[in-house]
Structure 1
Amino acid sequence: MPPRPGWRAENTRLGLVYDDSTYWREGARYVFTAAEIAELEHAAATLHEMCVAAGDHIVATCPRRDRTVRSRAYLDPVCTPDVCLLARFGVPEFAHAQVIRTWQDGSAETWTHADKDLDGGYPPQAPDFSPSVYGRFDLRYDGQSPPTLLEFNAQTPTSLLEAAVVQWRWLEQTGGPDQWNGMHEMLVGAWRRNLAALREARPWLPEKLTVHFAYETGETSGEDRMNTAYLQETCRQAGYDTELIAMSQIGWDTRADRMVFGDRQLDVVFALYPWEWMWHEEGGRPILRDLADPAKRGTVWIEPPWRAALWGNKGLLPVLWRLFGDDPERGRYLLPAWFAEERPAHVTSYALKPLWGREGASTSLVRDGVPLAETPGPYGAEGYVVQALAPLPAFGSPDGAMHPVLGVWMVDGEPAGMGIRESAGLITRNDAHFIPHVINDG
């Protein structure tokens, strides 16, 4: 299809300032039937249900789930990789208690009740709530076999702006019939619901609540800033005051023992910044200690630490396979996966992925014991997982065969829409291209 007149300027006006002229593929599109979209939506909803069960399973292996153990000294080691999946994932032990607490505080119905004798100063019957807003399943799908999970970007996924806004504008201007794209409205509703529940749990929050949105200024393309700013706008449309800040502007007031921006306490912060970076940095321990005590009125972080520790870690993949690989209904959305040291000898074709990795870095593909593709990177110190090799499908383009990954967006635990990235190689890296899609049964 022909390019839109002035499409570059229009995309930039909508916030796609990080396009180097090759990221957005104008003139191309992927076409789906309504039945295919329904299959993707069902797969995403089923995967989310499985992830919830996997989160419960991971937490159940951690000795610090026991409140009597959680009350021990801050650094008293009780978790080892042979018994605790969080330790095996590479989550530092001082973070385990807050991963568990924020996971269990997922809704008003499951509020935990602190025990003053066990947890050092919590008032009895102190509820809390740890909001979570969005995430992205990356799926392999060829239209013939069921969609299968490649990984879950559960804490800091980007490409949201182009999926929710830019490709919708493209649809309006090209007259496309339809698109799976309800992200914007669902995000506005998610902020409204989650912040209302947070007020119920923390009635001391100011009546005129300001939600701060923080991003990492070291990412110079503008991608992190604009994705964060877009989420900020959806929160503003939900009726809340917002402010965009840099992660480096967040400080620790040692006298008041609180997180601050300038001289103001931070009540609620959305941070497009990985927890696995944060808890290894100098300020990580104070942040975890600050959010540990609801009665202290500490800062609420969105997304909460469990998003990275339980779902944003590729250790989730072998846990899902262990729990659901034999389930004929749910297992069909999974690829066989193991921790690297547990790979069966007969599995000689696989993807080797670091537990903590981003944008395809430090990833290798092996076919019949022979390297097929690899991407260098800095990750892998905490270990790797192995996932059965399932090469991405290939679709023709003027530039040769391209391999798409379907990013299905989840908002408040519900499938909300899709964005597609494609690349010439079998490993989707940060130089992939974004391609819009339509639904057309004609």
Structure 2
Amino acid sequence: MRRIPYGPVRDGWRLTNFSLGLTYNDDVLPDGSMYSYWQEGPFYDFTAAEIEELETATATLYEMCLEAGDWMVGQCPRRTVEGRRRGYFASICTPAECYLSRIGVPEFAHEQIIRTWYDGDAETWTHYDKDPDMRLPMQTPDFSPTVYGRFDLWYNGAGSTPKLLEFNAQTPTSLVEASVIQWHWMDQTGVSRHPWRQWNSIHDRLVGWEATPDGEPADPGAWRRNIGKLREARPWLPEKPKIFFAYETSEASGEDRMNVAYLMSTAEEAGFPVELIAMSQIGWDVAGDRVVYVPAPGREHEAEPIDVIFMLYPWEWFWHEEGGKAFFRNMADPQKRGTVWIEPPYKAALLGNKALLPVLWKLFGDDPERGKYLLPAYFADSKGAATLTSYAKKPVWGREGGSVTLVRAGQTIVDNPSEYGTDGLYIVQQLCELPAFDALEGTVHPVIGSWLIDGEPAGMGIREGVGVSGLVTRNTCNFLPHAIEAES
């Protein structure tokens, strides 16, 4: 792993990137200077062995996360039939005995978090008809599609071991630049002649590919595979159900819109009808007890039922908003006519928050083969936290480095106050400062964004911060492309 400071600079690269979807590249910083998110010229170069190591780490970490999810679900009283039959509004979970309550997930969401976690398991949800006193009717196994996720990893090349910093399991961005923009950069610059050129199969894994003459079998891709499994569970769905794609319009840069639009384009390329909508256009049909798309206020008569929707919006915001209970009640429809959400709620509640890190350490910290990819982590109010003098303090529910504090030998070196963490829920993770490379603008610190598509390692994007503050990856950090064994 090396940083190449003076790579090729393409003529008209800004316009090229803009035409490919990177419409949110340029911004004006508070001091009046211009900021370019994409860095044209410098790039990172890896050996094939280093890529294989990152790919192995990514696959292993995901396996551990699935086991950690099982452990978390096992701490919730609603995991059992007895717990579920207490009724939708009953309160049986407490922070002392329920992991989900411990981290602030409202109890009305627990059952659907557990149900979507176990979807596809034929033995889990088939016992509702065994007891005539049960309040819920029989519910057969369902399917909850999950398309993508991104691990943020510490890595410093050969001789080092990748370390998990966090898992962006529900709403990861930087997808456009990781999938499309850096691939075109590679095509246009030709910096590598290695057969792999770049670790980047994100687009192909989303859309699928045909069998190749050299014997590689066809792959239907994440969209066709997931929707196919969904239709097995819900045969009443059309062969190609319409997929809505929703984003939050208050995000002013356009990053959310373009990430969602890109995902939508891959679903369309895979053969599905699609529609891009705003979060504010998701409505509720009281009479029909359905989630609907409302084109505009006053046009409720044109509302269209939503069977399948991808939402780039945090579940931890969604379930605290007015009307949140209704959406979860809709998911619980025993006839499986409720709306299917991509990513499902378990992605936020079990995997996409920082409380995953102490669970992983608890389960695998002593495992010499798998624990090597982890850093010691504890809830901030636990005894284990007191054993760390150098650590990163992170809010359980936080994004883009907000409210992350780095402490080295008892002294704060970086503080990034934000609106996150007001609930007082924090974890601490042993400090592992990002690698340092020399650059024109000073010392830079890269973090590896390792992508999963349908649970499989699929590629890498690199974000880079500058100076001491760059040890925390924020929304102002740059994106740099990468190559495999670039020609000198």
TM-score, length-normalised on structure 1? 0.97
Distance 1:78 1:372 in 2: 42
CA-to-partner distance for each residue in 1:257-290, whole Å, 9 max, x for gaps?
1011132110100000110000000121111110
The answer to whether the 8 Å contact 1:111/1:128 transfers is no
Q: Which position in structure 1 is the counterpart of 2:390?
A: 349
Q: Which position in structure 2 is the counterpart of 1:139?
A: 153
CA-to-partner distance for each residue in 1:55-112, whole Å, 9 max, x for gaps?
000000111111111121323222122211111121111111110000000x365663
Letter in 2 for 1:6: G
Letter in 1 for 2:254: G
The answer to whether the 8 Å contact 1:314/1:356 transfers is yes
**5 Å matches for 1:6-405?**
6-20=12-26, 21-105=35-119, 107=120, 112-113=125-126, 115-116=128-129, 117=132, 120-122=135-137, 124=138, 126-143=140-157, 144-177=159-192, 178-188=197-207, 189-262=221-294, 263-342=303-382, 343-380=384-421, 381-405=423-447
Q: Which position in structure 1 is the counterpart of 2:456?
A: 414
Distance 2:115 2:420 in 1: 28
CA-to-partner distance for each residue in 1:198-235, whole Å, 9 max, x for gaps?
01100111344110000000101100000000000111
Q: CA deviation at 1:345?
A: 2.9
The answer to whether the 8 Å contact 1:127/1:294 transfers is no
Distance 1:396 1:294 in 2: 58
Distance change in 2, residues 1:388/1:208 (3 Å): closer
Total equivalences in the alignment: 440
Q: CA deviation at 1:3?
A: 1.1
Report the more deviating stretch, 47-56 or 107-116: 107-116
The answer to whether the 8 Å contact 2:405/2:416 transfers is yes
Q: Secondary structure of the equivalent of 2:243?
A: strand
The answer to whether the 8 Å contact 2:142/2:336 transfers is no
Distance 1:204 1:92 in 2: 31
Distance 1:338 1:121 in 2: 38
Distance 2:350 2:325 in 1: 19
The answer to whether the 8 Å contact 1:70/1:119 transfers is no
Which runs of at least 4 in structure 1 moved beyond 6 Å after TM superposition? none
Distance 1:120 1:128 in 2: 19
Distance 1:337 1:296 in 2: 39
Distance change in 2, residues 1:24/1:119 (3 Å): farther
The answer to whether the 8 Å contact 1:317/1:337 transfers is yes
Distance change in 2, residues 1:312/1:344 (3 Å): closer
Distance 1:374 1:81 in 2: 29
The answer to whether the 8 Å contact 1:34/1:441 transfers is no
TM-score, length-normalised on structure 2? 0.88
The answer to whether the 8 Å contact 2:139/2:334 transfers is no
Distance 1:10 1:288 in 2: 43
Distance 1:233 1:368 in 2: 48
Letter in 1 for 2:15: A
Letter in 2 for 1:363: V
Distance 2:123 2:199 in 1: 32
Distance 1:323 1:229 in 2: 38
Distance 1:332 1:150 in 2: 13
Q: Secondary structure of the equivalent of 1:345?
A: helix
Letter in 1 for 2:168: N
Distance 1:411 1:250 in 2: 26
Distance change in 2, residues 1:195/1:111 (3 Å): farther
Structure 2: gaps (5+ residues): 1-6, 27-34, 208-220, 295-302
Distance 1:231 1:208 in 2: 16
Q: CA deviation at 1:297?
A: 0.4
- For the aligned residue pairs, the C-alpha RMSD in angstroms reads 1.4
CA-to-partner distance for each residue in 1:346-405, whole Å, 9 max, x for gaps?
311100000000000011001111111010111111510000011101011111110001
The answer to whether the 8 Å contact 1:133/1:412 transfers is yes
Q: Which position in structure 2 is the counterpart of 1:432?
A: 477
Distance 1:406 1:41 in 2: 12
The answer to whether the 8 Å contact 1:68/1:118 transfers is no
Distance 1:35 1:113 in 2: 46
Distance 2:271 2:121 in 1: 22
Distance change in 2, residues 1:264/1:286 (3 Å): same
Looking at CA atoms only, which structure, 1 or 2, has the larger radius of gyration?
A: 2
CA-to-partner distance for each residue in 1:324-344, whole Å, 9 max, x for gaps?
000011011000000001134
Distance 1:119 1:153 in 2: 37
Letter in 1 for 2:237: L
Structure 1: gaps (5+ residues): none
Letter in 2 for 1:175: G
Q: Secondary structure of the equivalent of 2:386?
A: coil
Letter in 2 for 1:9: L
